[in-house]
A and B are shown apart, each in its own frame.
Chain A
Amino acid sequence: MKPGKEHFSAPLYLLFTLVSIGIFCLCVCTGSVQIPPKDTIRLIWDAVCAQIHGFISHTRPVLPSGTTASILLSVRIPRVLCTALTGASLSLAGAAMQGLLKNPLADGSTLGVSSGAALGAVCAIAFGITFPALPFAGTMVTAVIFAFLSLLIILGLSYKLDYSLSTNTIILIGVIFSMITSSLMSIVITFAADRVQHITFWTMGSLQGSGYPDALVLLFSLVFFGGAIFLHGRELNAFAVGEENARHIGVNVRRVRLIILIAVSGLIGVCVSIGGNIGFVGLVTPHMLRMLTGPNHRRLLPASLFGGACFLMLADLAARTMLSPRELNVGIVTSLTGAIVFILIFCHTRRGK
């Protein structure tokens, strides 16, 4: 196979990048205080220049001041950055899982992995599990571990009940598992109400008030875990064709599956510990993009990265502005759209049979 046929061409990447930047700017400009695009771009430019200047001359950077500047630089930009990174991570995790399990309905929220991670994060906060050097690493590490354990439990149970891992079994077990974890989470929150944030944050997710450190953590997890997924594009194609077939053509099935599951848990765990349980992002975007790019993961994975970022930025924009001045949780918007898409896929696959 010729190279380039399987991958995206450079112009297409450029187009994706431009669209993402466009949506980023739109999201940064819009809000309770409208900031004209021209001012936004100038402010960002000034801030970046000041940072670079400060870095070169080893002085404290002189950032642009004023209300608009502070809204933009310390509230909107970190929030939109976090949103984009969370969207990209969740949708990459969803795409990987759908390929691995050969199941277009698999996703952190439908399998119950996100609820598992949320339970882990809540437990860490309630019982005060922290690492002294890194203030929020405790929550994050517990969330990642819980996400991985959830995946093991769900897949283990599914394998036991039905070796072919059919859609029905896996979704049913996922639903039951998320119910259990949600109720456990409610119990923990009831007893530690003074320490744990409001329950809607954990069940519906929100990126309100996230800052630059969060964005940095998300970026690191995306590079590390997302990179692991990217390196296994061919293996994911093989799994998406069939696990037995993957073994026949020489894929080390056990090792690849373990790596992908760890990477997916890492991505979901980090996202949940920062933004709560934002559902269905990993279901909606890969599904829509598969119609555009086809199921080949060499194209689907990069597309999911950009698509997920755009989708969640727009969903967050809708959550902020639809009922302004009141703000919705972003998870409400994604779950609403996600549930509709879920029903559509389900009807489509049923009719196909």
Chain B
Amino acid sequence: MPEMLKVQNLSVRLGQKQIIENLSFSVDEGHWLMIAGPNGAGKSTAVRAITRGVDYSGEILFNGHDIRRKKAVELARCIGALAQANPVSYAFTVEEVVSLGRYSHTPGPFSFSLRREREQQKFSSETTRTPEADMVEYALDLTGMTPLRRRSVLTLSGGELQRTFLAQVLAQDPSLLLLDEPTNHLDLLYQKQVFELIGEWIKIPGKAVVSVIHDLSLAKAYGTEVLLMDHGKSVALGAAGDVLTPEFLKRVYRMDVCEWMKKMLSQWT
């Protein structure tokens, strides 16, 4: 059984600048990989490469298949992503935005293969089928957006908007969830809610999470593995406890991170 996600010798070059150089890592089922490092280390770009948002060299395999060989809808059925920020400019309702998450699962006018698959499923097993509306309801419930479902996304606060898009990606029902600083700019209550929610979600069999994160305490608390990056290269990769050590952090952040965090926390006692 191959790893769910295997990234081998990933390199990304934008214009003259080498953003990522020879990055390799892998994620197994049930694991939560945290990617940490200073600004400009190439963390977000690594995540964008996995959604095919940038051109890259090297190999990204999902369950042993090259993601470049997959169609966009096929990829979206396996890999979902939540962006750092989602500015909106039209008055879609929360429910409409969340329902868009089902796009890759609903047959369009030309997706004959998916429609055939649906027909077969209908005949084979009535129970394993997850109807479209149910997934949307489930995602709205899980993120606590059900009371706001009829609201226009233009009227939501930053936290509510981010929760809407989290609901969308949960409705998409991917095996691998990619999060790019999901709680950036958002308050502590929201951070707690999101991390607890995803901590529960990852317990469903066949799921894995990769997230870019700035808060090292959160990374240590929730991550099973940590990838520490600097200048587009991997500095350390391994279990959270082995990577988030004073020595490694000092090397990457060029300051004594642990001392600083201890000092910050000691104010409260």
Contacts and interface: CB of A to CB of B under 8 A. Distances in A.
A249 B92 CA distance: 16
A250 B172 CA distance: 10
B172 A249 contact: yes
A39 interface: no
A250 B77 contact: yes
A40 interface: no
A302 interface: no
A1 B99 contact: yes
B109 interface: yes
A248 interface: yes
Interface string B62-89: 0000000001111111001111001111
A104 interface: yes
Interface string B174-205: 00000000000000000000000000000000
Contact of A234 (B71, B93, B95, B108): B108
Q: Which of A102, A250, A294, A295 has the most CB of B within 10 A?
A: A250
B86 A245 contact: yes
A323 interface: no
Contacts of A249: 76, 80, 100-101, 103-104, 168, 172
Interface string A97-118: 0000011100000000000000
A1 B81 CA distance: 22
A162 B172 CA distance: 30
A150 to B, nearest CB: 24
Given A248-B80, A294-B91, A242 B86 contact: yes
Interface in A283-335: 290, 294-296
A238 interface: yes
Contact of B133 (A1, A238, A242): A1
Query: What interface size band does chain A fall in?
Result: 20 to 34
B52 interface: yes
Q: Which of A2, A237, A248, A295 has the most CB of B within 10 A?
A: A248
A247 B136 contact: no
Contacts of A2: 133
Q: Which of B90, B154, B165 has the most CB of A within 10 A?
A: B90
Contacts of A294: 91-93
Contacts of B45: none
A247 B73 contact: no
B96 A237 contact: yes
A231 interface: yes
Contact of B100 (A231, A241, A253): A241
Given A248-B51, A248-B81, A102 B90 contact: yes
B90 A250 contact: no
A242 B89 CA distance: 9
A240 interface: yes
A251 interface: yes
B104 A237 contact: no
B178 to A, nearest CB: 9
Interface in B109-139: 109-110, 132-133, 136
B169 interface: yes
Interface in B19-55: 51-53
A1 B132 contact: yes
A66 to B, nearest CB: 48
Interface in B198-215: none
B169 A248 contact: yes
A244 interface: yes
Contacts of A104: 89-90
Contact of A248 (B74, B83, B102): B83
Nearest to B74: A250
A166 B73 CA distance: 28
B83 A244 contact: yes
B172 A242 contact: no
Nearest to A295: B90
Contacts of B83: 242, 244-245, 248
Contacts of B51: 247-248
A337 B26 CA distance: 58
A70 interface: no
A231 B90 CA distance: 21
Contacts of A296: 92, 96
B258 interface: no
Interface in A69-120: 102-104
B257 interface: no
Contacts of A241: 86, 88, 90, 92, 97, 100
Q: Which of B72, B73, B169 has the most CB of A within 10 A?
A: B72
A231 B110 CA distance: 9
Interface string A182-193: 000000000000
A195 B91 CA distance: 48
Given A2-B133, A245-B83, A250 B103 contact: yes
Given A104-B89, A244-B86, A248-B51, 13 more contacts: A1-B99, A238-B103, A240-B89, A240-B92, A241-B90, A244-B53, A249-B168, A250-B73, A253-B72, A294-B93, A295-B90, A296-B92, A352-B154
11 contacts: A1-B99, A1-B102, A103-B89, A244-B83, A250-B74, A250-B103, A250-B104, A252-B72, A252-B73, A294-B91, A294-B93
Interface of A: 1-2, 102-104, 231, 234, 237-238, 240-242, 244-245, 247-253, 290, 294-296, 352
A-B pairs, 5 with minimum CB distance? A250-B76, A250-B104, A295-B90, A250-B73, A252-B72
